[in-house]
Structure 1
Amino acid sequence: MKNGKGVYGFFLVAIGILFSLQSLGLIGDFWSFSWPLILLFVSIGFHLGFFLSGARSQHAGLLVPGGILFVLSMLFMFEEMTGWNFSGNTWPIYLFAVAFGLFELWLFGGREVGLLIPIFILTGLGFVFLIQNLLTFNILSFWPLVLIIVGLFLIFGRSGNSSKDL
């Protein structure tokens, strides 16, 4: 089994057997609960690729799709188990998935501060939309208030170069 071909071979044989058993009617609808597992296994593959390569920061890019697929596989498993009844409310999890992948890149890839900006933006938007979906009133109707508060902070907030601002 050179270069891991045997592992992929066993995986393909197992998938083929499961689909054959389904087409013969020996097991139920395999695909409806298994496709999120495929995403989970691909996610694990990305993570294993990173950690088995010595967890060097040069390979931390593998964690972005790994983290995204991990969160999405968990979401899709939940959606499949509940018959997609909550998909109208759980869509902000897609934002969390990207934020999680980027967070893993930040955590294992050198901790560049600039990477935290999209992480916080995506996470914040995800929470705003998730809370909005859970509450009965529209929280986005208060966005002008946020603009006013930020504007007042910029006008009256403390600044290190107050003499140069004018």
Structure 2
Amino acid sequence: MKNGKVIYGIFLVGIGILFSLQSIGLIDNFWSFSWPLLLLFVSIGFHLGFFLSGAKKQQAGLLVPGGILFVLSILFMFEEMTNWSFSEYTWPFYIFAVAIGLFELWLFGGREFGLLIPIFILFGLSFVFIIQNLFTFNVLSFWPAILIIVGLFLIFGRTSRTSKDI
């Protein structure tokens, strides 16, 4: 526990020094670039909490907010560096962040099949919206064709027949 106190102490002293330097004018606009770092440190704290506890499956829930905050901190750092000029294109990464958090839960928490369903839905949605933002044509106009193809596959696709199906 003593190592934890030292780490938190160093962190608080560092933050205090940076804010002091900003208040006397040596650092200009520190907060606009530092607040995503706070999210990153909290994310790292969640991940360290999981891995330092022995990476037990029961503690894997710590990885959900850890993964979400990690992706969001990287996104917010990018947005702050570009003065939020790409935010109309980067909004699907909010959905992607939740998918990453759930994926970490699946990966380290027992790999339950049911958890893959929301993960793939969220990954798929974020992927479609990112592609839509990258290209000038509207990808969503292809949804009816995608639904028809998936429906035809479900109707006519190969299935493995078992004794229960017959």
Does TM, normalized by the shorter one, top 0.5? yes
CA–CA distance in structure 2, aligned partners of residues 151 and 4 of structure 1? 55
The amino acid across from 1:124 in the alignment is G
Give the Å deviation of 1:156: 2.1
Closer, same or farther: CA 24–94 of 1 in aligned 2, 3 Å: same
Query: Paired residue for 2:41?
Result: 41
Mapped to 2, the partners of 1:154 and 1:34 lie a distance apart of: 50
Q: Say whether residues 1:94 and 2:94 are aligned partners.
A: yes
State the partner residue of 1:104. 104
Within 2, Cα distance between the matches of 1:105 and 1:162?
Answer: 33
Provide closer, same or farther for how the CA distance between residues 153 and 164 of structure 1 changes in structure 2, counting only shifts above 3 A: farther
Structure 1 position 60 matched with structure 2 position 60: yes
**Taking structure 1 as reference, are residues 137 and 162 closer, same or farther at Cα in structure 2, changes over 3 Å only?**
farther
Distance 1:53 1:39 in 2: 21
RMSD: 2.1
2-side partners of 1:162 and 1:68: how far apart?
Answer: 41
In 2 relative to 1, CA 162–54 (structure 1 residues): closer, same or farther, beyond 3 Å? closer
Deviation sequence 1:36-93 (CA, Å, 0-9, x none) = 1111100000010011001111101111100111111111111111111111001111
- Number of residue pairs the alignment of both structures matches: 166
Q: 1:90-133: per-residue Cα shift (whole Å, max 9, x none)?
A: 11111111111111111111111111111111111111000000
- 1:4-19 matches, within 5 Å, as 4-19=4-19
**What amino acid is aligned across from residue 61 of structure 2 in structure 1?**
G
Structure 1 segments, 4+ long, off by >4 Å, are 160-165
Separation (CA, whole Å) in 2 of partners of 1:130 and 1:76: 17
| TM-score normalised by length of structure 1 | 0.91
Which deviates more from structure 2 when the two are superposed, residues 63-72 or residues 17-26? 17-26
Q: What is the match of residue 51 of structure 2?
A: 51
Whole-angstrom distance in 2 between the partners of 1:162 and 1:138? 42
Shift of 1:158: 3.1
* Consecutive unaligned residues in structure 2, runs of 5 or more: none
Q: Find the residue that maps to 1:21 and give its secondary structure.
A: helix
Q: Which amino acid is 1:107 matched to? A: L
Letter in 2 for 1:23: S
- Cα separation, partners in 2 of 1:146 and 1:27, compared to 1, 3 Å: same
Gaps of 5+ in 1: none
CA deviation after TM superposition for structure 1 residue 147, in Å = 1.7
Instruction: Summarize the alignment of residues 77-156 of structure 1 with structure 2, pairs less than 5 Å apart.
Output: 77-156=77-156
Query: Which amino acid is the alignment partner of residue 15 of structure 1?
Result: I
Determine the C-alpha separation between the residues in 2 that align with 1:160 and 1:25: 71
